[in-house]
Amino acid sequence: QVQLVESGGGLVQPGGSLRLSCAASGKISLYTMDWYRQAPGKERELVATITSDSSTNYADSVKGRFTISRDNTKNTVYLRMNSLKLEDTAVYYCRTSMGWNIYWGQGTQVTVSS
């Protein structure tokens, strides 16, 4: 079993930047890690994925603005968010699957507002 703890959310103006972190309680080097987000009244959506060999994939809505990365020595995954827009406001969640088990963090709120 692994626990995921997100941090780094907050209030930022449009055009600003934030870096989210997801710290895992166990080794993550063998696993794909995902960032999801859920805006008020909307379904949770996949934002970015990084595989064990650090291949990445992004939702079209964040391509060119967000960067997912990982530091396996710290068992931590990051989401660097640049050029933030109002529509990026959401709770951001870290997720991984290990075997048959899926693990989620508790989420961190990102609010983009002027």
* Percentage of the chain exceeding pLDDT 70: 100
CA distance 74 to 57: 22
The pLDDT, as a whole number, for residue 45 is 98
Instruction: Please say if the pLDDT value at position 1 is more than 90.
Output: no
Q: What pLDDT shows up at residue 17?
A: 98
* Cβ atoms of residues 15 and 113 within 8 Å: no
Are 110 and 47 within 8 A, CB to CB?
no
Specify whether the CB–CB gap between 81 and 19 falls below 8 A.
yes
pLDDT in tens, 32-86: 999 999 999 999 999 999 999 999 999 999 999 999 999 999 999 999 999 999 9
No. of H helices and E strands in the chain? Answer: 0, 11
Evaluate if residue 14 carries a pLDDT over 90: yes
Mean pLDDT, all residues of the chain: 97
Pairing relationship of beta strands 10-12 and 108-112 according to DSSP bridges? parallel
